[in-house]
Amino acid sequence: MCGIVGYIGKNDSIKPVIEGLSRLEYRGYDSAGISYKESSDIITLKKEGKLDNLKSEIKKHNINSKIAIGHTRWATHGEVNDVNAHPHQNELFAIVHNGIIENADRIKSELSSKYSYKSQTDTENFLNLLTSKYEKLNDVRSAVLETFKEIEGNSAFVVMCKLTNKLWAIKRSAPLVCGIDAATRDLYISSDPYALVGFANKIYFPQNEVLCECDPSKVNDEIQFFELDGSASHRYELQKKDLNLNVSEKGIYEHYMLKEIHEQPTLIKSLVDYYTTGEGLESLKSIDNKFKRVHIAACGTALHAGYLVKNFLEKENKVPVQIDFASEFRYRNPLLSSDELGVFISQSGETADTLACQELCSESKLKTLSIVNVEGSTLFRDCNYNLLIKAGVEIGVASTKAFTQQVLVGLILSKYLKNELNNDDFKNELSSLSSKVNEVLDRKDEIKQIANEIYNKNGFIFTGRGDHYPIALEGALKLKEIAYVHAEGYAAGELKHGPISLIDENMVNIALVTPDLFDKTFSNAQEVKARKGIMVIVGTENNEQLSNIADYYFGLDYSGLSSTKPVLTNVVLQLLSYYIAKLKGTDIDKPRNLAKSVTVE
Ligand code: M6R
C-alpha cells in the first residue's frame, strides 16, 4: 500500500527518496509524489500512475535540495489523480500520510470555512489542522503533537515545514522507521526499512504515538523522540542486528513472481538447516509449549497456509486449533483464554487486520507467535515468539515462496512439538520435496502448454480435499489475483451442494486428485466430467483412471512425501497462474488494485 520515504542531510535529497520509492513500488500504488525544499520554498511534484511519470516530471526541474519527502499512494479516499496524490502542501507545510483518518469528516466540518481543501483525500485534514495548531502555538513540534492527538484511526505522517530544516514523523499502528547513516550523518524516514537498505545503517523503530524529530544540525543527536505531551521519549527500538533485507533483482527472469517460484527448492533446503541447527532451533526452544488451544489468524495466502498449519497441529499434536480470517477474528468477540496461543501468519508482518488480532490476543494475556518473513516488522516485534520463514524479500504481489515457507515452518513447529524435528524421515522428506519442486520447474513447458489451451475460458473451479482443499483455495486466489479471471476454490465434496450448476463446456475444473482421499476426489472429478466441464487434473502420476477423464493431466511423483504433498502440488498451480496471466498480458508483479502489504483494514 502507500509508501513513505524522507531524507534530510548534506547531499542531494531527490536520489535517495526516488530510490526508496522505487523499492516500495512492489507494495502497490497508483500515484507518486515528492516535496522538496529549495532555499525557503517547498516545491511539490506529483503524478498519477507509475513512478516513471514522476521521474519524468522531476527531470524537467533543475533541483538543488537537501530535504525531501516522497510518497506512493494507494487510493482510499478520492479517486486516482494528480491532485489526490501525496504530498499535500500549503503555504507552510508539506505532508505525506499512510492510513486512514477516521474522523476526517468532523475535522473538515470544523475547518472548511477557514482553510481550503484542494483534494478529496482525508489527508488534507491533517494539513489544515496542523496549520491551525501552528497559528496558535507558533512551534512546529508542538503543533504536530497537538494535531496528531486529535487524529483518529491508524496512520503514519511525515511533516516538512517551510520555516525550518527538520522533518517530523509520527504513527499509530502503521509502519514507520527512521534511520541515520553513521558516517555521513544523513537522516532517513520510511514506512519500510527495505527502502533504507544501503542508506541508513542505524534504524530506529518508534512505538505508537512517539514523535521522531530529525534535525541534522544537532550533531550526534540528530534524531530525537517525544511523547504526545512533549516530554522526551525512550519508547523506540534501535535495530539490534543487521536486518535480512537484501535488495532483490529480477536477474534472468522476466518477472519477480517467476524468479520467486524458482527460489523455492533452495529456500526449502536452507529452512531445514536453519531450524535444525541454526538460530531457528533457538526460536523453537523459546516457545512455552504448554498451551491448551491455538488461535490462528491471517489474511489471503497466509490464511491458506494457516489452514495447513491447523491440520498439522490437530492431526500430529492433537491440539485444538481455531482459525479465522483476521478481519473477522478481530470483530467476532472470540473466546480467548490465557492458557492458549495466538499464531499469526504473515509475509510482511504489517497487515493491519493481522496486527489487530495479535493485539487482541495480547490484551487477553495469550502468548503470541508469528510465522513471518520480515524480521523487524511490527508483527515480529509485537509477538512473544517468532518463527521466521526465511523466504528473503518477496517482491511479486502474488505470494508464492512465502506460502511454501509458511506451510513448512508450521510443519516444523508441529514436528518440534512432537520431538520429531531431527528424525531422518522428516529431513529426507524435505530434501526430497526440494528435488521434486525442481523437477516441476524443469517441466514448466508442459504447464505453459496447458495454460495455452485454457487461458481464454470463462471460469475456473479449483477442487481438492483434505490438505489439498487449502491448495484449491490458494490456486484460485493466485489465478484471480494476477490473471483477472473468475476463479473459485472449493472442497471437492462441496461441489454438488451448489457450484456444480456452473459446470458446462466453458468451465474449467482444476481438480487436485492426489493419493490422499484419492477415490473420493476422483469420483468428484467424474461428476464434473459427466457435465462436460473441461478437466485439468493435477495429482497422482501415471494413473489410467485419471488420464481417461482428464482433458489435460499433470502427474506428480509424490513418493517419499507425506505432509508436504500439498506444497508440491501448489507449485504447479503457481506456474499455471503465471502462464495464464502472461497470456492475458496483465501486470503480473503488480496486479491492478492490489497492494503487497495491506496496512489499512
Ligand atoms: O503480508 P501478509 O502475508 O500478511 O499478506 C496477507 C495477504 O494480503 C496476502 O497473502 C495476499 O493475499 C497475497 N497478495 C496473495 O498472493
**pLDDT tens digits, 557-572:** 999 999 999 999 999 9
CB-based contact 581:588 (threshold 8 Å): yes
Give the Å distance between the CA of 346 and the centre of ligand 1: 7
Q: Whose CA is nearest to atom 7 of ligand 1?
A: 300
Report percent pLDDT > 70 for the chain: 99
- Residue 193, pLDDT above cutoff 90: no
Mean pLDDT on 388-415: 96
User: Does the annotation mark 596 as catalytic?
Assistant: yes
* pLDDT at position 76: 82
Give the Å distance between the CA of 469 and the centre of ligand 1: 18
Confidence category of residue 446, pLDDT binned at 50, 70, 90 = very high
* pLDDT at position 40: 86
Ligand 1 site-directed mutation target among 598, 599, 601, most atoms within 8 Å of CB: 598
Cell of 298: 491471517
Cell of 297: 489468524
Confidence category of residue 242, pLDDT binned at 50, 70, 90 = low
Confidence category of residue 244, pLDDT binned at 50, 70, 90 = low
Give the residue, 548 or 595, on which the prediction is more confident: 548
* pLDDT at position 497: 95
pLDDT digits (tens, 9 = 90+) for 60-114: 999 999 999 999 998 888 899 999 999 999 999 999 999 999 999 999 999 999 9
* pLDDT at position 78: 87
Cell of 294: 491455538
* pLDDT at position 598: 83
Mean pLDDT on 377-398: 94
* pLDDT at position 21: 96
Give Cβ neighbours of residue 79 (< 8 Å, ≥ 6 apart): 120
pLDDT digits (tens, 9 = 90+) for 36-72: 999 889 999 999 999 999 999 999 999 999 999 999 9
Report the distance separating Cα 247 and Cα 233, nearest Å: 32
Confidence category of residue 298, pLDDT binned at 50, 70, 90 = very high
- Residue 241, pLDDT above cutoff 60: no
The reply to whether 439-590 shares the fold of 250-422 is yes
What is the average pLDDT value for the chain, to the nearest integer? 94
| Active-site position among 2, 212, 357, 361 | 2
CATH node for 3-238: 3.60.20.10
Q: Is 440 exposed, middle or buried (0-12, 13-18, 19+ CB in 10 A)?
A: buried
Kindly report which listed range (198-202, 221-225, 314-318, 539-543) carries the lowest average pLDDT score.
198-202
Q: How is the chain split into domains, by residue range?
A: 3-238, 250-422, 439-590
Q: Locate all alpha helices (DSSP H) within 418-462, ordered by sequence.
A: 424-442, 444-454
Mean pLDDT on 205-217: 95
Report the distance separating Cα 278 and Cα 281, nearest Å: 6
Report the distance separating Cα 402 and Cα 301, nearest Å: 9
In sequence order, the β-bridge partners of residue 3 are 72
Global confidence as pTM: 0.84
Give the Å distance between the CA of 550 and the centre of ligand 1: 32
CATH node for 250-422: 3.40.50.10490
- Which of ligand 1's atoms lies nearest the C-alpha of 298? 4
Mean pLDDT on 415-432: 95
pLDDT digits (tens, 9 = 90+) for 450-468: 999 999 998 999 999 999 9
Report the distance separating Cα 426 and Cα 411, nearest Å: 10
Give the Å distance between the CA of 564 and the centre of ligand 1: 21
Q: Identify the residue whose cell numbers are 500504488.
A: 29
* pLDDT at position 247: 62
Report the distance separating Cα 445 and Cα 575, nearest Å: 10
- String of DSSP letters for 92-138: SEEEEEEE--TTHHHHHHHHTTTS---SS-SHHHHHHHHHHHHHHH-
- Residue 351, pLDDT above cutoff 80: yes
For ligand 1, residues with CB inside 6 Å are 299-302, 346-348, 351, 354, 397-399, 477, 481, 597-598
* pLDDT at position 355: 95
Ligand 1 site-directed mutation target among 301, 304, 346, 478, most atoms within 8 Å of CB: 301
Task: For 439-590, give the CATH class.
Answer: alpha beta
Cell of 204: 530506529
For 351-360, give one letter per residue: b (16+ CB within 10 A) or e: bbbbbbbbbb
Mean pLDDT on 384-405: 96
